[in-house]
Amino acid sequence: MSWDERFADLYDEWASEMTEDVAFYVELAHETDGPLVELAVGSGRVAIPLAQAAGRPVVGIDTSPAMLAQARERAEAAGVELHLREGDMRELELDEPVGLVYCPYRALLHLPTWADRRRTFERVAASLRSGGRFAWNAFAFDHAIAARLDGLHQDEPVGHSLRYAVGDNRIDITLDGGGTSSLWWATKNEWLGLIDVAGLEVEALYGGFEREPFTEDSREYVWVARRPK
Ligand SMILES: C[S@@+](CC[C@H](N)C(=O)[O-])C[C@H]1O[C@@H](n2cnc3c(N)ncnc32)[C@H](O)[C@@H]1O
């Protein structure tokens, strides 16, 4: 498993620097009617404000009982309806096709192999109604950043060390107190291949959450794909 439960206790601090994505996903929710689905919902960081803004429940799927417990508690405190399910995004199955499936904060990178991602994209495509959208973001690998950070200890946002296993396109994040979570980076062509094999089409590729154009210098892929009409 690429997500270590020991990250759950520190997740608020870990994610404290990631805030600019919420408005982007909220806007997509406003543009869609019907049920909304978040893959790897975690603590509800995005799902709760999104459900609040859209005035509709969000179906949230995650493999981590500890993260789901946080999401449940927060949703209750915020008076928001989330339909939380313990499950693996590779096995996504919904009762009815939906207009929006989204996966923030690079969570698709927790899937180790192309086959895992292909399976996920196929399950998402099967869960979208005609014209329905799949949106996600992921960092673009930057060898200069990797060279700078490989083996480095960082205090912020919580004490951790990074290791770049380049041959496996993997980053291992190890917390000071123990616990390693891994991310497998993907190239633009891998994302395009996944969209293609799942029978989806690209609606937009942005270089950031303000919908900036994606350029050769962009460091974040912000994708919106859709099921063709
Ligand atoms: C970085 S957190 C993202 C949480 C949330 N989406 C957010 O934006 O704050 C990654 C989450 O992915 C979940 N996860 C990892 N692999 C998964 C899988 N195969 N299926 C569903 N959830 C998974 C972890 O349990 C964890 O909650």
CA distance 27 to 150: 36
Q: Give the number of other Cβ atoms within 10 Å of residue 217's Cβ.
A: 8
* Residue 222: closest CA among 208, 210, 212: 208
List all residues whose CB is within 6 A of at least one atom of ligand 1: 2-3, 15, 40-42, 45-46, 61-64, 67, 88-90, 104-105, 107, 110-111
pLDDT of residue 17: 85
pLDDT of residue 125: 98
Rounded to the nearest angstrom, the distance between the alpha carbon of 220 and the centre of ligand 1 is 18
Rounded to the nearest angstrom, the distance between the alpha carbon of 92 and the centre of ligand 1 is 14
Residue type, 196: D
- State which of 18, 64, 90, 222 you would mutate to test the pocket of ligand 1, scoring each by most atoms of that ligand within 8 A of its C-beta: 64
Over 80: is that where the pLDDT of 18 sits?
A: yes
Residue showing tokens 């770049």: 164
Rounded to the nearest angstrom, the distance between the alpha carbon of 228 and the centre of ligand 1 is 27
Over 70: is that where the pLDDT of 7 sits?
A: yes
> Whose C-alpha lies nearest to ligand 1, atom 9?
45
Over 70: is that where the pLDDT of 42 sits?
A: yes
User: For residues 221 and 16, which has the higher predicted lDDT (pLDDT)?
Assistant: 221
pLDDT of residue 1: 63
pLDDT band at 168 (very low <50, low <70, confident <90, very high): very high
* Residue 199: closest CA among 94, 95, 125: 125
pLDDT band at 51 (very low <50, low <70, confident <90, very high): very high
Mean pLDDT of 153-175: 96
Angle between helices 47-54 and 21-30 (to 10 degrees): 40
- State which of 62, 67, 127 you would mutate to test the pocket of ligand 1, scoring each by most atoms of that ligand within 8 A of its C-beta: 62
Mean pLDDT of 32-58: 96
**Torsion angle, alpha carbons of 44, 50, 52, 58, to 10:** -70
Over 70: is that where the pLDDT of 80 sits?
A: yes
Q: Residues 96-123: pLDDT tens digits?
A: 999 999 999 999 999 999 999 999 999 9
- Between 10-24, 78-92, 109-123, 176-190, the lowest mean confidence (pLDDT) is in 10-24
> Whose C-alpha lies nearest to ligand 1, atom 6?
41
Rounded to the nearest angstrom, the distance between the alpha carbon of 181 and the centre of ligand 1 is 11
Over 90: is that where the pLDDT of 2 sits?
A: no
Rounded to the nearest angstrom, the distance between the alpha carbon of 62 and the centre of ligand 1 is 6
pLDDT band at 141 (very low <50, low <70, confident <90, very high): very high
Q: Mean of the per-residue pLDDT values for the chain?
A: 96
- State which of 63, 175, 209, 220 you would mutate to test the pocket of ligand 1, scoring each by most atoms of that ligand within 8 A of its C-beta: 63
